[in-house]
Chains A and B, each alone.
Chain A
């Protein structure tokens, strides 16, 4: 969550750059330039080492593993070509987990994009903004396990308060997490509760960056609040919406913790997700690292394709 951040616009040449260039021209150019380069890479060294070893290398190594029959404890693994990917084509549990993950992503997108937006618009109008923002943000400070345990207890079919209050409203009690038709919705609801505050803060910041006088001008021209929302708020919020959308999609395709705590993928395989399937394939079910790596790369390809598609669809030309 919150780690994915789309590409950044490069700033123009910096004052410091100009200074360095100017002094390079003035002094002995070669020596100065070489010293600056050496200094730069000495500063970069610890971070780049960390980054290369634990980010870049695993990415490439994962791709290589996906073409081998690697397992835990097997020192030598053989090249098997596309056999792992071919197996995935026949692995029905993988298909089920993919379908579930797609369903979760699709079904959660509207509530997770819209609920924080509606709240942000309301908070932006009313008072006590800081207090209210804090209240909605609080669940996001909790770990996915704490959030999962909270809702596990609330949704308890026998003694949980959720069913009690529903029953007092005339809605019959049910085992939300044990019923295949409702289990995924319970997971979606739990996730909405968890992440709404995070997106709310982002939307609020985006709303506050929209110049006030635009609304005043629109009001003078007789535009309704509704018209202002469509003509000013939504277009100017587009970069923020794009960020929320991309972040949410990347996060959703990797859903794991909520499922692990609330249902363990059940009932049956009704809530089994791709990452859960990957986790079990790699770390519980004969430690099939090659097969799990192939799953990881299929997932990566899907996420990448969706992110690029979103950038295409939503980028537009509304810079301000």
Chain B
């Protein structure tokens, strides 16, 4: 083996590497401990939750808190409904963002037309505008449209907030696509829409997936906009319902709150486990092209 030929100095460096990895592993476990504690708490019977010293194995385990927040008393019956609301809003937002930003990014990348540079500059420039600045006027507008406490009142502003990032990301990708397939399709008589839907979109699946996950995450987790745009409890998405759940219980009853928190983390945990690479790629793209 090559190892035999490695000098003592190199072997010492290898020891350093192992030590480094080992200490990073310990740190990673500590880093995840708070999240694990949420899960452990949600599975403990109420008397065990506040027991000191902290017990990290929830035994005997119970599903009573999940039962309570999903099906139980009226003050918490919202979590099941909130889960449904969040699902509808997040999927709706993803659909609107992917469709509108792909359609907008395509001509910005592939067609030369008057006004192109200005339109792109304005869209990208809007990324510098903080969401908090638009809060009040957006509320006034949503109210005038009669959209308070509706799904569209959550989906459309949320989609508008992510649209610019989507255009930026997708244009970057479309620009680098080779043009031969499009040209061939055009020669075969395909119009621009057919080229877009049959050639461009299928070739863009990876970046569309990254954008979808990015959008889903921000829609699923958004808190401030739904906090003001929804005032009917049955329309609350999860973060708002959870924040209010905290108020509904005295601070000692952490069980149901932690069960709600664990439930709210579940969809993104699944996405994260299935499409880890895609998420990382999305974050990478969001940062590096700047």
A: which residues have CB within 8 A of B? 1-8, 10-11, 14-17, 19-21, 36-37, 39-41, 43-44, 46-48, 50-51, 53-59, 61-62, 65, 70, 119, 122-123, 125-128, 130-139, 141-146, 148-154, 156, 158-159, 161, 164, 193, 198, 201-202, 205-206, 209, 239-240, 242-244, 247, 250, 253-254, 256-257, 260-261, 274-275, 278-279, 282-283, 289, 292-293, 296-297, 299-300, 303-304, 307
Interface size grouping (class) on chain B: 35 or more
Is the beta-carbon distance between A3 and B165 smaller than 8 angstroms? yes
Is the beta-carbon distance between B223 and A144 smaller than 8 angstroms? yes
B54 to chain A, nearest CB (A): 4
* B111-136 vs A, Cβ < 8 Å mask (1 yes, 0 no): 11110110100111111111111111
Q: When A51-B160, A126-B24 are in contact, do A19 and B183 touch as well, CB less than 8 Å?
A: yes
**In residues 245-276 of chain B, which contact A (Cβ within 8 Å)?**
246, 251-252, 254, 257-258, 261, 264-265, 268-269, 271-272, 276
How many A-B residue pairs have C-beta atoms within 8 angstroms? Tell me.
Answer: 333
In the complex formed, the residue of B with least CB distance to A247 is B287
* B81-107 vs A, Cβ < 8 Å mask (1 yes, 0 no): 000000000000000100111011011
Interfacial chain B residues near A247, Cβ < 8 Å: 287
Is the beta-carbon distance between B111 and A297 smaller than 8 angstroms? no
Top 7 closest pairs, chain A to chain B, by CB: A54-B160, A47-B104, A143-B221, A40-B107, A58-B137, A202-B287, A135-B28
B126 to chain A, nearest CB (A): 5
Is the beta-carbon distance between B224 and A275 smaller than 8 angstroms? yes
A162 to chain B, nearest CB (A): 9
Interface 9-mer from B3-11, B30-38, B61-69: B30-38
Provide the bound-state CA to CA distance between A202 and B288, in Å. Answer: 7
Is the beta-carbon distance between A143 and B124 smaller than 8 angstroms? no
Interfacial chain B residues near A144, Cβ < 8 Å: 221, 223, 239
Interfacial chain B residues near A130, Cβ < 8 Å: 276
**In residues 6-21 of chain B, which contact A (Cβ within 8 Å)?**
17, 20-21
Provide the bound-state CA to CA distance between A136 and B32, in Å. Answer: 7
Q: When A5-B165, A57-B141, A153-B37 are in contact, do A127 and B276 touch as well, CB less than 8 Å?
A: no
Interfacial chain B residues near A134, Cβ < 8 Å: 272, 276
Provide the bound-state CA to CA distance between A189 and B124, in Å. Answer: 32
Q: When A43-B196, A135-B31, A304-B128 are in contact, do A261 and B160 touch as well, CB less than 8 Å?
A: no
Q: B286 at the A/B interface (Cβ < 8 Å)?
A: yes
B128 to chain A, nearest CB (A): 6
Return the contact of A58 from the options B101, B141, B264 (Cβ within 8 A).
B141
Provide the bound-state CA to CA distance between A278 and B127, in Å. Answer: 21
Interfacial chain A residues near B223, Cβ < 8 Å: 143-145, 256-257, 260
A265 to chain B, nearest CB (A): 14
9 contacts between A and B (CB under 8 A): A14-B110, A16-B111, A41-B107, A44-B107, A50-B160, A141-B272, A150-B35, A154-B34, A201-B287
Is the beta-carbon distance between B283 and A4 smaller than 8 angstroms? no
In the complex formed, the residue of B with least CB distance to A190 is B34
Return the contact of A128 from the options B25, B257, B283 (Cβ within 8 A).
B25
Q: When A55-B134, A135-B28, A275-B224 are in contact, do A5 and B289 touch as well, CB less than 8 Å?
A: yes
Interfacial chain B residues near A293, Cβ < 8 Å: 136-137
Return the contact of B239 from the options A39, A56, A145, A274 (Cβ within 8 A).
A145
In the complex formed, the residue of A with least CB distance to B54 is A161
A264 to chain B, nearest CB (A): 10
